[in-house]
Amino acid sequence: MAITIQNDTGLITLATCNTEYQMKTDEYGVLLHTYYGAKIYGSDMSETISCRERGFSGNLTVGREEIRSYSLDVLPQEYSCAGSGDYRISGLSVLDSNGGRSCTLRVAGTRTEKGKYSLEGLPHVYDENGEAESLVITMKDPYSALEAELQYSVFEKSDIITRSVRFINNGSEAIQLEKAASLCLDWQFGDYDWLTFYGCHAQERNLQRVPLHHGVQSIGSTRGNSSHHYNPFSILAEKNTDENSGLCFAFSFVYSGEFLMEIEKDQVSQTRLVLGIHPANFSWKLEPGMSFQAPEVILSCSSEGFGKLSRNMHKIIRDNVCRGEWKYKQRPVLINNWEATYFSFDAQKLISIAEESSKLGIEMLVMDDGWFGKREDDYSGLGDWYPNEKKLGCSLKELGEEINKRGMKFGIWFEPESISEDSDLYRSHPEWAVAVPGRDPVLSRNQLVLDISRTDVQDYIIDRMSDVLSNAPISYVKWDMNRSICEKYSASLSADKQGEFAHRFMLGLYRILEELENTFPHVLFEGCSGGGGRFDAGMMYYTPQIWCSDNTDAINRLNIQYGTSFGYPVSTVGAHVSAVPNHQTGRVTPFATRGAVAMSGTFGYELDITKLTDAEKEQIRRQIQRFHKYYELIQRGDYYRLTSPKDPCVIWSFVAPDKNSALITAVSREITANSAPVHFNVPGLDDRRLYNAVFVLPEADDRPLKVIEKISGAALKNGGLTIPVVQWWEYEAWQVEITAAD
């Protein structure tokens, strides 16, 4: 049983394979957080809590009696509220109709359920195989009609716990939620580092590891989307934690909008983490009888380092967040025309790309930006989702059919959440663009944001896209969003509800995606936001792959894909081989290296294939063969980071879940003359089994350059392998294929 409730002691334990999470309702009805970590087999960890008087801290009062040794300001709690005498960062902040800002939550009941609790209208972890058990703890404010349901699901085998909160107004007057975080988590002891993933457009998810200090540290987004700048995923780790050992915790927000992740180290060096919708642009009027559902957080804990923690996250996202027909189905190797043509193309050009691509084994052509309305550059056309037949030279249906005739599937780009001022849509519905009345809206990439918090606008998008998708043989949609959202304002909301805009925008986005995907279940949707500006578990519920970055430089991608791998599986990582000199960095890298790096993702091409040499085309043919050969291993295998992208040689591996095989890729990022040999260890295989290891240069034919026969899994793990070369060059890539010898 994953969830145990002891009614006599108030102890609640959530148990997974390797971890336990524990709470306890105390004599005052306060829900204490007593433990999260490696197994403790149900022991009551409230024995670690030592109460004593703390000067200047709020104490609990019962009636008018102050309990001076009981201070909410230092007690580890499950969900803390502002205005309760706990002066630390809190999960909930409420504005009452009388202007008061106090809230107190006390346990009123618990219930358990088989399966997963539900979250309406929001992406979430789902339970397909009956693995989950759920717990709902009802908390009530004794002074108001506010109720909060703390929701937990335990995925026992996966070492995953999900959390969320639902707020209900049982009274007759509205209550304003000013902050409604999804997660509040306390650690009484320990000295931690915080690993976050910062970045910018074209350089997303750089790992930053910093020690916690006294005070509040935070990351977040107020850009309308989860953002390139801080990913809504982080890790808290004990100081000595590395890839293979040490205690660490992961937090992934299943949400694509604004978020705040804060950590406070308090007066007695305890740690509290709070994660939820960013309160800066949030305020929700909870009308009588209504409820508000906060988005979900995925939690995992590993005492075997970051590698295990990441693999827990990979598995839950791959198996229980990504959905639909394309979840496990082999995704097509695609070619996208963006870096090949930008806006200047017609049907003939696309057909010529398809013609050449199909000969080499590429399976789908994706027509990017520029096929609709008046769109020759980024100044116009967004919102006018009507094919520009004049520019294309034919209808979309004819183009799709021509591509299909060449044995290729046909995909198409949309940016549904944006609108250009120079568009028919804007001319007929200026009020559909997001703007604050009386002020010029902020432009970004010359465009405005479409107000999809409105149902009429959602309906317009659903209608337009459905029309396009039903009138041409379209198998794939690239769903882009190319700006941040500055003005948090909707012409359709009253002044007292403008604080709801940012979240309503997300609910609108999720509704559009849900409806379109239900209507077009065979279409593969790929997410994108100027590359990886909305690379989050929320979007992965709708788009099982996301264009990871607009930066296609293989060497920069080593860092981007490394950072991404901490929280997200390879099956979600959109990665393409592009031309050299690279369009973002000017760097020239070997074709083989670009292939080896893109192969650790969903794989595709983004170049003018008609301009390649025969030798390069031959490499494409071989790369695709290799990708197909290793598809299962790459997409479903266990991922190991063997070095960091700061090392001169960047190495990672995929190990088959049955431990029958592995694939290692090594890229020389920076070379120095007369350097030491490149050596690495290969964890994850079966210690006692024997394996053959074959070294190959991915650009050559599959002739092995070195074979090691019958080496044990333990030798690979503890002794390792060395790249067999006298000299290897900057940006060169190697792969090692390992297969069971028995």
Strands 233-238 and 291-293, bridge-based pairing: unpaired
User: According to the binding rule CB under 6 A, does residue 296 interact with ligand GLA?
Assistant: no
The one among 255, 414, 547, 680 contacting ligand GLA by CB under 6 A: 547
User: What is the DSSP-derived secondary structure letter of residue 532?
Assistant: B
Residue 536 among the catalytic residues: yes
For the bound state, the minimum distance from the C-beta of residue 726 to ligand GLA, rounded and expressed in Å, comes to: 40
Residues 342-381: x/- map of binding to ligand GLA (CB under 6 A)? --------------------------xx------------
The whole-angstrom separation of Cα 638 and Cα 709 is: 23
For the bound state, the minimum distance from the C-beta of residue 480 to ligand GLA, rounded and expressed in Å, comes to: 5
For the bound state, the minimum distance from the C-beta of residue 225 to ligand GLA, rounded and expressed in Å, comes to: 13
Q: Name the segment binding ligand GLA (CB under 6 A); options: 220-228, 393-401, 527-535, 607-615.
A: 527-535
User: According to the binding rule CB under 6 A, does residue 530 interact with ligand GLA?
Assistant: yes
Residues 660-719 touching ligand GLA, rule: CB under 6 A, are none
For the bound state, the minimum distance from the C-beta of residue 551 to ligand GLA, rounded and expressed in Å, comes to: 10
Residue 181 or 340 with smaller CB distance to ligand GLA: 340
- Name the token pair of 650: 């960047």
CB-CB contact of 459 with 429 (8 Å): no
The one among 159, 422, 480, 487 contacting ligand GLA by CB under 6 A: 480
Of 709, 715, 697, nearest to 740 by C-alpha is 709
Angle (CA) 315 319 324, round 5°? 150
Q: Name the segment binding ligand GLA (CB under 6 A); options: 255-263, 266-274, 454-462, 523-531.
A: 523-531
For the bound state, the minimum distance from the C-beta of residue 211 to ligand GLA, rounded and expressed in Å, comes to: 35
Sequence-distant (≥ 6) Cβ neighbours of residue 485 within 8 angstroms: 223, 224, 225, 434, 449, 502, 505
CB-CB contact of 383 with 418 (8 Å): yes
Of 208, 267, 38, 293, nearest to 562 by C-alpha is 208
The one among 531, 563, 567, 683 contacting ligand GLA by CB under 6 A: 531
User: According to the binding rule CB under 6 A, does residue 528 interact with ligand GLA?
Assistant: yes
The whole-angstrom separation of Cα 394 and Cα 446 is: 28
Residue 320 or 552 with smaller CB distance to ligand GLA: 552
CB-CB contact of 109 with 138 (8 Å): yes
- State the DSSP string of 210-277: EE--SEEEEEEE-SSSS-SSB-SEEEEEETT--SSSB-EEEEEEE-SS-EEEEEEE-TTS-EEEEEEE
For the bound state, the minimum distance from the C-beta of residue 361 to ligand GLA, rounded and expressed in Å, comes to: 23
Sequence-distant (≥ 6) Cβ neighbours of residue 613 within 8 angstroms: none
Residue 482 or 484 with smaller CB distance to ligand GLA: 482
- State the DSSP string of 650-677: EEEEEE-TTSSEEEEEEEE-S--TTPPP
Residues 375-434 touching ligand GLA, rule: CB under 6 A, are 413
The site for ligand GLA, by CB under 6 A, has a size of: 11
For the bound state, the minimum distance from the C-beta of residue 368 to ligand GLA, rounded and expressed in Å, comes to: 5
Q: Name the segment binding ligand GLA (CB under 6 A); options: 399-407, 525-533, 584-592, 640-648.
A: 525-533
User: According to the binding rule CB under 6 A, does residue 199 interact with ligand GLA?
Assistant: no
Question: Could you say which of 238, 389, 616, 647 is catalytic?
Answer: 616
CA 510, 474, 340, 361: dihedral to nearest 10 degrees?
120
For the bound state, the minimum distance from the C-beta of residue 532 to ligand GLA, rounded and expressed in Å, comes to: 9
User: What is the DSSP-derived secondary structure letter of residue 719?
Assistant: T
For the bound state, the minimum distance from the C-beta of residue 412 to ligand GLA, rounded and expressed in Å, comes to: 11
Residue 400 or 530 with smaller CB distance to ligand GLA: 530
- Name the token pair of 3: 């969830």
User: According to the binding rule CB under 6 A, does residue 476 interact with ligand GLA?
Assistant: no
The one among 482, 551, 582, 661 contacting ligand GLA by CB under 6 A: 482
For the bound state, the minimum distance from the C-beta of residue 473 to ligand GLA, rounded and expressed in Å, comes to: 21
Q: Name the segment binding ligand GLA (CB under 6 A); options: 310-318, 505-513, 526-534, 651-659.
A: 526-534
Residue 547 or 627 with smaller CB distance to ligand GLA: 547
Sequence-distant (≥ 6) Cβ neighbours of residue 548 within 8 angstroms: 204, 531, 532, 535, 557, 560, 561, 564, 573, 574, 575, 601
Question: Could you say which of 141, 159, 355, 536 is catalytic?
Answer: 536
Residue 373 or 590 with smaller CB distance to ligand GLA: 373
The one among 550, 553, 686, 732 contacting ligand GLA by CB under 6 A: 550
Residue 183 or 202 with smaller CB distance to ligand GLA: 202
Residue with tokens 């709470």: 23
Of 542, 484, 554, nearest to 514 by C-alpha is 542
Strands 160-169 and 291-293, bridge-based pairing: antiparallel
Of 662, 645, 654, 668, nearest to 725 by C-alpha is 668
The one among 338, 605, 695, 731 contacting ligand GLA by CB under 6 A: 338
Q: Name the segment binding ligand GLA (CB under 6 A); options: 12-20, 53-61, 247-255, 528-536.
A: 528-536
Active-site annotation, residues: 536, 616
Contact footprint for ligand GLA (CB under 6 A): 338, 368-369, 413, 480, 482, 528, 530-531, 547, 550
